[in-house]
Amino acid sequence: MWAVVFDLDGVLVDTAKLHAEAWRRLAGELGISLSEEFLRSLRGLNRMDSLDRILEWGGRTEVGPAERERLAERKNRWYVESLEHLTPRDVLPGVVELLDGLAFYRVPVAVASSSKNARLVLERTGLAKRFSVVVDGNAVLRAKPDPTIFLEAFRRLGVFPQDGVVVEDAASGVEAARRAGARVVGVGRPEELPGADLVVSDLRELTVARLKALVDSAAP
């Protein structure tokens, strides 16, 4: 048996822009300007790691732990408010078709996301019923590139990581998946996803056959 584990933000649902908008708003209040390239570098990181990187970028390393918690909570509140407007139309191209194909062949699937709001996003977009296994930031404290979140997802699916594929859009997620022992499909720009076994622009380029071929290529 083999399985596929999906990241959420930027892979299944177009929520990466909502995170970016919330971080840019928070940074603006702190007098920090964030470029698009910098915002892309935050993909795959959890909330506190992202905030730490922003504060370091802006030279605001004097901000203490209590204030960091307050800032992170403010950003999350803005982000959660923006989720109220999510609908199935925010599911990215090719996602439904690929999930339909995997379901047809009875390939187990899971979501592994550092976001603590993953289940809310899945509910809002109508994807929740498609995943019996969801591992999020509430279940796993160690953020990518630590492999724990993917190891836990494969454990819950009852599949060895060596018999699985991870679909990711962040360099930290690609590294985490490789450290877990799985094959990796990167979604995005090849230069931003080093180590991915295959890179696609979106899930319309993926098929069940292409995913299975990746798993088979890892066999001894």
Q: How far apart are the first and last CA of the chain?
A: 16
Euclidean distance between CA atoms 81 and 156, whole angstroms: 31
Judge whether 7 is annotated as a binding position. yes
Residue 181 zone, left/alpha/beta (φ > 0; ψ -120 to 50; rest): left
Judge whether 141 is annotated as a binding position. no
Q: Which of 9, 90, 136, 163 is catalytic?
A: 9
Judge whether 46 is annotated as a binding position. yes
Q: Which of 7, 90, 136, 163 is catalytic?
A: 7
Nearest partner of 196 among 179, 184, 181, 206, judged by Cα: 184
Told to judge if 7 belongs to the known catalytic residues of this protein, a careful annotator would answer yes
Judge whether 50 is annotated as a binding position. yes
Judge whether 41 is annotated as a binding position. no
Told to judge if 9 belongs to the known catalytic residues of this protein, a careful annotator would answer yes
144, burial (CB in 10 Å: exposed 0-12, middle 13-18, buried 19+): buried
Judge whether 45 is annotated as a binding position. yes
Judge whether 76 is annotated as a binding position. no
Judge whether 201 is annotated as a binding position. no
Query: Which tokens is 64 given?
Result: 């203490």
Residues 6 or more apart in contact with residue 62 via CB below 8 angstroms? none
Query: Which of the residues are catalytic?
Result: 7, 9
Would you list which residues are annotated within the binding site?
A: 7-9, 23, 42-47, 50, 75, 113-117, 144, 168-169
Would you list which residues are annotated within the binding site for substrate?
A: 7-9, 23, 42-47, 50, 75, 113-117, 144
Would you list which residues are annotated within the binding site for Mg(2+)?
A: 7, 9, 168-169
